[in-house]
Amino acid sequence: MRHLLSTADLSRADAVALLDTAEAMAQTQSRTIKKLPALRGLTIVNLFFEDSTRTRISFEAAAKRLSADVINFSAKGSSVSKGESLKDTAQTLRAIGADAVVVRHPASGAPHRLAHAGWIDTPVVNAGDGMHQHPTQALLDAFTLRRHLSGGEGDLAGRHVVVVGDVLHSRVARSNVDLLATLGARVTLVAPPTLLPIGVGAWRCEVSSDLDAALVGDVQGEVDAVMMLRVQRERMTSGFFPSEREYARRYGLDAARVDRLPPHALVLHPGPMNRGLEISAEAADSPRSTVVEQVANGVSVRMAVLYTLLAGDLAGEGVA
Amino acid sequence: MPDLNTTRVVLETDEISRALTRIAHEILERNRGSADLVLLGIPRRGVPLAARLAERIARAEGDGERPAVPVGEIDITLYRDDIRRRPTRGLTPTRLPEGGIDEKNVVLVDDVLYSGRSVRAALDALADLGRPRTVQLAALVDRGHRQLPIRADYVGKNLPTATSERVGVQLVEVDGQDAVTISDAVATDSATDARRATR
């Protein structure tokens, strides 16, 4: 694996190996000394063209726990705001001697361009691009699900995950559908028809616009997890739904809906949560909610990704 | 056509068994018993070896009342200095016995002692996990060619080798049989074999 750009690129074996590595990384994070020397001497650049404190500090913590040096590059206040192109930025990174680039960009496909245009020759990790992909988020969601549903081993075969909310604008939903399907899980997307992308019928999932019906188990089995998506208020400009109140009533996860879930079912949310809109405070704070755990798991998963991409770079040389 | 890849068995089941019994007694002798002793296996084959040593130590102590010697395993992958020179390797969990390793006499157990780099990595890993009183090293086979100033306290068999040769350790728990073999390195069967040979 050279880059991590999309969960659609991952084979089942790749995905399980990443989750296994993340499990081993998580184990090291309960120690007094959390830092490991694996990536000592390497420089990782966090290239953030879009604000995201949560994802950036998660990548930063992951890189630092593996002893890499981290340079944070945020577009705001940088030469990007003076009109510098992605190519020029990439060439600057090459000159600095970056060993890996973690990129967040508002344009779908920007990490792919960075990885394949020949401007730099380092591994590229997609930390979220436009409405396209957010692979480490999907991996941490799968990691969280696997821990609770499969004892932290193997894949998610036979599990049923319901993904609810703004699928249209959600890179989290896209990444999760690809990864969960690869891991053998059954995925049901629930969204207002206005918030479903064109062509969703070709995705490896079922689609519904009735949350209550989707949460009830069917002949194929009951629901194992509900993943709520954030309503991106900044993108709700053209009347995708009549009112926030109506959205909350039809597509929000409240205590009553949580109570109807099977006892083992989990509630996931990628954060930040709009309490009272897509998720009620009771549901967000219920014991089934893994929101805080997901953040901790994010560091382990990103450690696994950086380790997998950066260790073994000069494969085949050297003797122990 | 002559078989270029000649493999000789240098230790068989009962010889491995005797070597481990001897090492167990040497450990007890040097540490004056099994109090405060912890055995830590280095994956992969150091782990079953550590378990076998613990069993022999418990048997040698012989009063049946004493708890068995605590056994754990220590993953050294992230501490290797050749991490970027090899294909990425899978991590194995580090399992420390209850009570940890602080102020304990820790015996690291590995199958083959070669360059010493695995042991160096294990010492670094130990330093992150706690502060043992002493650290000792037990290896089933010492094949020489050290690249670091490291030596074993307990050795099953000293096996003079050429660097071109490969030493393979097979254990029932991992490979279905017990044997130590030495072969001329003609072709590398797999990364696993290479790693086994160079440990």
Q: How many CA atoms lie within 13 A of B162 on its CB side?
A: 5
DSSP track, B166-178: EEEEE-HHHHSS-
DSSP bridge pairs for A279: A253, A275
Question: Residue B198 pLDDT > 60, yes or no?
Answer: no
* Residue B5: band (very low, low, confident or very high) from pLDDT cuts 50, 70, 90: low
Please name the residues in contact with A127: beta carbons below 8 A apart, sequence gap of 6 or more.
A46, A48, A52, A55, A56, A59, A102, A103, A104, A111, A134, A136
Q: Would you state the pLDDT for residue B130?
A: 92
Q: Would you state the pLDDT for residue A242?
A: 86
Residue B25, helix vs strand vs coil: helix
pLDDT tens digits, one per residue of A116-169 = 999 999 999 999 999 999 999 999 999 999 999 999 999 999 999 999 999 999
Q: Would you state the pLDDT for residue A80?
A: 72
Contact B128 A320 (CB under 8 A): no
- Portion of chain A with pLDDT greater than 70, in percent: 96
pLDDT tens digits, one per residue of A43-73 = 999 999 998 899 999 999 999 999 999 999 8
- Rounded distance between C-alpha atoms, residue B171 and residue B44, angstroms: 10
Let me know the angle formed at the C-alpha of B174 by B89 and A312, rounded to the nearest 5 degrees. 10
Check whether A76 is labelled as a binding-site residue.
no
- Rounded distance between C-alpha atoms, residue A244 and residue B178, angstroms: 68
pLDDT tens digits, one per residue of A179-197 = 999 999 999 999 999 999 9
Q: Would you state the pLDDT for residue B88?
A: 72
Contact A31 B128 (CB under 8 A): yes
Identify which of B87, B90, B118 has the shortest CB distance to residue A315.
B87
Please name the residues in contact with A190: beta carbons below 8 A apart, sequence gap of 6 or more.
A162, A163, A164, A165, A207, A208, A209, A210, A211, A214, A251
Q: Which of residues 103-142 of B touch A (CB under 8 A)?
A: 114-115, 117-118, 124, 128-129
The pLDDT mean for chain A works out to 91
**Where are any strands of DSSP class E within A57-123?**
69-74, 100-105
Q: Residue A172: is it exposed, middle or buried by C-beta count within 10 angstroms (0-12/13-18/19+)?
A: buried
Which of A28, A32, A99, A301 is the best substitution to test chain B (most B C-beta atoms within 10 A)? A28
Higher pLDDT, A236 or A93: A93
pLDDT tens digits, one per residue of B65-81 = 566 799 999 999 999 88
Question: Residue B199 pLDDT > 90, yes or no?
Answer: no
Check whether A233 is labelled as a binding-site residue.
no
Question: Residue A234 pLDDT > 80, yes or no?
Answer: no
pLDDT tens digits, one per residue of B58-115 = 988 866 656 679 999 999 999 988 877 777 777 888 899 998 999 999 999 999 999 9
Q: How far is CA A100 from the centre of its chain?
A: 19
Mean pLDDT computed over B154-163: 95
Kindly list the residues from chain B whose CB atom is less than 8 angstroms away from the CB atom of residue A23. 93
pLDDT tens digits, one per residue of A191-229 = 999 999 999 999 999 999 999 999 987 878 899 999 999
Task: Look up residue A221 and give its amino acid.
Answer: G
DSSP bridge pairs for A52: none
Domains of chain B: 13-162 (3.40.50.2020)
Q: What is the ipTM of this complex?
A: 0.77
The pLDDT mean for chain B works out to 88
Q: How far is CA A152 from CA A119, A192, A278, in A?
A: 39, 33, 28
Higher pLDDT, B170 or A1: B170
Higher pLDDT, B148 or A51: B148
Please name the residues in contact with A50: beta carbons below 8 A apart, sequence gap of 6 or more.
A75, A104, A105, A106, A128
- Rounded distance between C-alpha atoms, residue A213 and residue A209, angstroms: 9
Mean pLDDT computed over B4-24: 92
* Residue B189: band (very low, low, confident or very high) from pLDDT cuts 50, 70, 90: very low
Q: Would you state the pLDDT for residue B63?
A: 64
**For A164-173, A288-297, B1-10, B29-38, which range has the lowest pLDDT when averaged over its residues?**
B1-10
Mean pLDDT computed over A25-42: 91
Pairing of the two strands B7-11 and A266-268:
unpaired
Cβ atoms of residues A96 and A119 within 8 Å: no
Check whether A27 is labelled as a binding-site residue.
no
Please name the residues in contact with B138: beta carbons below 8 A apart, sequence gap of 6 or more.
B23, B27, B49, B53, B107, B108, B109, B110, B152, B153, B154, B155
Q: Would you state the pLDDT for residue A145?
A: 97
Question: Residue B195 pLDDT > 60, yes or no?
Answer: no
Identify which of A17, A37, A318 has the shortest CB distance to residue B124.
A37
Q: Which of residues 140-169 of B touch A (CB under 8 A)?
A: none
